[in-house]
Structure 1
């Protein structure tokens, strides 16, 4: 059962006949490029309005905007630093993450910060070491962050947040984070996700991370965006992923560098209901590419076969990313999973 079917099945069980929310637009033949990005100009922080509020008879899943039973998602979220080295693929459980952030690391490669809350698989991984931008990414989520270690200065930064640090090799994680993947070390550290979450059930559930539309048709990009069939991204020399709109599943389908379909370990194609592309400054700190998350810049939100130009802003570490359209209104995503592509200003974004 694919990700979208699992989520619809869970919603029907929890809510009976409550309607599913979002995305559906016919694909388009290959047109000329409509959006091509060079280095963006700095933009001021825009105003931010409140997100959609669910009626009292159901809750909104805070990371996907999907309707769920009242009180059904009280557990903390689990974020993890997921390896994206060729030897680490296919990753375990990443197709079931609520949000995935992709960021540049050393050697022209990328890694992920994936976040699970509404749909937690038995295992996730492989996990790798922390990086200096990760505290800014995960702090708004609270909950748990799992990783394999890292330089002491970066671990200290992560431990200084309110997020619980679950680190491979520590006594408190020996039963839930262990080597066991099919890849060779160091690409084989796996997390037993439900057990790790249950050990920290007292932690708070995440706050709502994005603004969401109430239904498919009213998502900002679906309603106001320009038709788009694909997005091609350049992070670095070895990281040039792409996305293509699939009308049949109403999702964006991911391809790896080179164009091969990007698959999870269970064979599922990696896909996203919402694709958020942010142009970000990246500085090199002692040979470590470091995405600057505090600030603002150019963005696109892609939903329902359309792309909407926007501005992103994040005023401080504990604040979630804010997305605002050119008309000054907050961008509302479709209910469903989201991939956030943190593309360096030195890279490129081409949307066709």
Structure 2
């Protein structure tokens, strides 16, 4: 009997030793459930002026500039527009237009002809917070820019100077070196997206639009033609090899008023108000979609709405027309 009890006790001890605790550190887990602590991959960084992916080794925190460029025959040939990310065409005195040309992903060593600012530029520049590159401005414009907190670099900066090239007259000879300007700047945070960018695949079907005429005034209509998948300006002043190829055209109908000064020739100076709301047409790959643009305050970014909801601008290079409600318009076919 003593042997039998001893044997039974030994067997019990062996069984206890073999039956480990399911939650002990010595027993590997056999659960097939995935770990809930795995972090989702961060979305790729995009350029705030195009919505496109930033290449490896680059950063969207790099400086952005808005260069005021003449848009008349006297500016021909314009220099550097082929490297621009985004262009805004605005009305100036005499029915002519001027370009607010945005650069960040590529900074040309020479861009111009650089011209003066207008009060319209407050609504154009303030959402991005970028520096305007200009040849100067009238006193009322400088006062308005100062109140709005819009910064600029003019001809007091060595990166903005006259260049004798034998082609442009003295008034149209001011050029800017954006690489030199960038060396003067400090690292900053990423600017906000200038437009509400989205995927091209999500752009609605719309109406056919292979040719677009944006009438800025009685004397200026910008005529666009779809070539491949890009819109090319047919009556611009860009030379072959340095042409802005627009993935998307945006036309915003805007309210205009008159500034409290005239230009040296005595012409009234218009102000295009890029705040509030109005009608818009967005063109992409031969399709036109009518929308309403909304920008409550001068420093806000713009959004676009259709009856179906918000519409995004396909990522890519965009040319934005600020077309006056009074005397302007847009047609396409």
TM-score, normalization: structure 1? 0.76
Contact 2:119 2:141 in 1 (8 A): yes
Change (3 A) 1:199 1:205: farther
**Which structure's CA Rg is the greater one?**
2
Q: Could you tell me which residue of structure 2 aligns to residue 283 of structure 1?
A: 257
Q: Could you tell me which residue of structure 1 aligns to residue 231 of structure 2?
A: 252
Q: Which runs of 5+ in 2 are unaligned?
A: 1-39, 261-267
In the TM superposition, what whole-angstrom CA distance separates every residue of 1:125-169 from its partner, at most 9, and x where no partner exists? Answer: 11111101101110111121111111111012223334431011x
Deviation of the 1:237 alpha carbon: 2.8
Q: Are 1:314 and 2:298 matched, yes or no?
A: no
2 CA distance for matches of 1:163 and 1:289? 19
3-state SS of paired residue (1:281): strand
Q: Which runs of 5+ in 1 are unaligned?
A: 1-53, 257-261
Contact 1:76 1:142 in 2 (8 A): no
2 CA distance for matches of 1:225 and 1:115? 28
Q: 2:160 aligns with which of 177, 187, 195?
A: 177
2 CA distance for matches of 1:118 and 1:82? 18
Deviation of the 1:263 alpha carbon: 4.9
RMSD between aligned residues: 1.9
Deviation of the 1:185 alpha carbon: 1.8
Q: Are 1:343 and 2:323 matched, yes or no?
A: yes
2 CA distance for matches of 1:87 and 1:105? 15
Q: Could you tell me which residue of structure 1 aligns to residue 48 of structure 2?
A: 62
TM-score, normalization: structure 2? 0.80
Contact 1:78 1:197 in 2 (8 A): no
Deviation of the 1:55 alpha carbon: 6.1
Q: Are 1:269 and 2:243 matched, yes or no?
A: yes
Contact 1:159 1:165 in 2 (8 A): no
Q: 2:193 aligns with which of 201, 208, 211?
A: 208
Q: Could you tell me which residue of structure 2 aligns to residue 41 of structure 1?
A: none
Deviation of the 1:108 alpha carbon: 1.0
3-state SS of paired residue (1:217): helix
Q: List aligned pairs for 1:157-236, cutoff 5 A.
A: 157-168=144-155, 170=156, 173=157, 175-180=158-163, 181=165, 182-214=167-199, 216-218=200-202, 220=203, 223-236=204-217
Q: Could you tell me which residue of structure 1 aligns to residue 285 of structure 2?
A: 304
In the alignment of these two chains, the number of paired residues is 283
- Structure number with greater CO (CA < 8 Å, separation at least 6) is 1
Structure 1 segments, 4+ long, off by >6 Å, are none
2 CA distance for matches of 1:213 and 1:284? 35
